[in-house]
Amino acid sequence: MIVLASASAARLALLRNAGLDPKVIVSGVDEDAFSAHTPAALSLVLAKAKAEAVAAGLGDGLVIGCDSILELDGRPYGKPATQEEALDRWRIMRGRTGRLVTGHCVIDVAAGRQVAETATTVVHFGSPSEEEIAAYVGTGEPLSLAGAFSVEGRGGWFVEGIEGDHGTVLGISLPLLRELFDELGYAVTSFWR
Ligand SMILES: Nc1nc2c(ncn2[C@@H]2O[C@H](COP(=O)(O)OP(=O)(O)OP(=O)(O)O)[C@@H](O)[C@H]2O)c(=O)[nH]1
Model pLDDT for residues 17-56, shown as the tens digit of each residue: 999 999 999 999 999 999 999 999 999 999 999 999 999 9
Catalytic residue, chosen from 21, 32, 60, 67, is 67
Q: Is 79 in the pocket of ligand 1 (CB under 6 A)?
A: yes
- Cα separation, 137 vs 109, in Å, equals 40
Beta carbon of 89 within 6 Å of any ligand 1 atom: no
| Residue nearest (by alpha carbon) to ligand 1 atom 2 | 170
Q: Which residues contact 5 (CB under 8 A, 6 or more apart)?
A: 25, 26, 27, 50, 51, 53, 54, 55, 63, 64, 65
Q: Which helix (H) or strand (E) segment is 17 a member of? A: helix 9-17
Q: How far is the CA of 10 from the centre of ligand 1 (A)?
A: 7
The closest of 157, 158, 177, 159 to 167, measured between CA atoms, is 177
| Threshold 0.90, pTM exceeds | yes
Q: What is the pLDDT of residues 108-120, one digit of tens each?
A: 999 999 999 999 9
* Residue having the nearest C-alpha atom to atom 15 of ligand 1: 67
What confidence score (pLDDT) does residue 115 get? Answer: 98
ipTM at complex level: 0.97
